[in-house]
Amino acid sequence: MRVVETLPEMREASAALRAAGQRLGFVPTMGFLHAGHVHLAAVARKHAAAVAMSIFVNPLQFGPGEDFARYPRDAARDRALAASAGVDVLWMPSPEAMYPEEPRVTVDPGPMARGFEGAVRPGHFAGVLTVVLKLFAVVLPDVAVFGRKDVQQAVLVRRMAADLDLPVEVVVAPTVRESDGLALSSRNVYLDPVARRRAVALSRSLQAAVELFRSGERDGAALAAAARAVLDAEPGLATDYAACIDPATFAPAARASDACVVAVAARLGATRLIDNVVLGEGLEGDGRLAG
Ligand code: AMP
C-alpha cells in the first residue's frame, strides 16, 4: 500500500493507476477505521481494480460546539487496517494542505440538507459536500463508495454528482453492525459501558418500525412514532429525531414505501449517535459482525 500526504502526490498516484488502465474506486473517511470502513473498501474493490482511501477529519463540517478537537485519531492503526483492507493508495492530507486558506467558495447543499442532520448541525452538509468535491477533484475516481449509515450524506453526495455532472459513480453500501445491532461508528469509543448498552436502543427502534411496516402500516408518522417510542423509553437517552423519510427528496414521507428510510438520532450524554434502516430491506440487509 502506498501512503501519500500532499495533493500533488495523490494526483500523481491516481494518474499512475488510471494510466495503467485501472478503474479507480475511492472511499473517503475521517479515519479511526472500523469494519464498516473495511467493508466500503471491499465494495469499492468489486467496482474497480484499484482502491484509494482518504483519511481526513474535515474541520469544515464540524460546528463550534462539536467534537472536532477530540474526534478519535490513530494514524498508525489506520495504516495497518487500510493495508489489510486491500487499499492500494492511502491519502492522509493535513488540514493545511486541504485548506491553505479559509475557502470563500463552498458547495450549497440545497433543500435536502435542511432537515434532520442538517437542522441539528447547521453548516454540516456544506462542509461535507465541499470536502467531498475537493477530494473528488484530486483523486478523480471512477466510483466512490459511501456508507448508508450516514444516509443523508450519501443521498446528498449522489445528488451533487448528478446535479453537477461529476464523472463519478456514487455507490451506497449497507451499514455494518455489531452483533447486538449497534451500527459501527468511530464515535462509539466515546460510550462508557452503560451508555454502550443503552445505545442498542437505536437499532431496536428501527426494528420496531420495520415490524410495524411488515404488519401493513404505511402511515409515515405512525412508523416514526413506533421508533420514537423505543428511544423515549430508554433511560439516559435523549431523542433528537425519529422520522420516516422519502430518500428522493429527504423530506418526511406521508405514506411509506419499501424505499423509504426510517432514520433516528439520539444523544447519550455528550455522544450523538445516528442510525437508519430501509423499510423494504430491514436490518437483515445490513452487515453484522459475529458475536
Ligand atoms: P466516517 O469516517 O465516519 O466519516 O465515515 C466514512 C464512510 O464510512 C462514510 O461513507 C460512512 O457512511 C461510512 N460508514 C461509517 N460507519 C459505517 C458502518 N457502520 N457501516 C458502513 N459504512 C459506514
% of the chain with per-residue pLDDT over 90: 99
- List, in sequence order, every residue forming a beta bridge with 265; answer none if it has no partner: 241, 274
Mean per-residue pLDDT, 115-126: 98
Which helix (H) or strand (E) is 133 found in, with range? helix 124-139
pLDDT at residue 45 in the model = 98
Q: How far is the CA of 217 from the centre of ligand 1 (A)?
A: 30
- Residue 76 burial (CB < 10 Å; 0-12/13-18/19+)? exposed
Taking only the tens place, the pLDDT of each residue in 21-47 is 999 999 999 999 999 999 999 999 999
Q: Are 140 and 14 in contact (CB under 8 A)?
A: yes
At residue 291 the predicted structure's pLDDT band, cuts being 50, 70 and 90, is confident
Q: How far is the CA of 37 from the centre of ligand 1 (A)?
A: 6
Q: Three-state SS for 190?
A: helix
Set of cell numbers at residue 279: 423499510
Q: How far is the CA of 216 from the centre of ligand 1 (A)?
A: 31
| Ligand 1 pocket by Cβ (under 6 Å) | 29-30, 36-37, 39-40, 146-147, 149-150, 173, 175-176, 183-186
Residue nearest atom 19 in ligand 1 by C-alpha distance: 184
pTM of the predicted model as reported, rounded to 2 decimal places: 0.98
Residue nearest atom 17 in ligand 1 by C-alpha distance: 36
Question: Among 238, 239, 247, which Cα is nearest to 220's?
Answer: 247
Active site residues: 37
pLDDT at residue 72 in the model = 97
Mean per-residue pLDDT, 200-225: 98
At residue 179 the predicted structure's pLDDT band, cuts being 50, 70 and 90, is very high
Mean per-residue pLDDT, 224-239: 98
pLDDT at position 107 over 90: yes
Q: Residue for cell digits 495523490?
A: 10
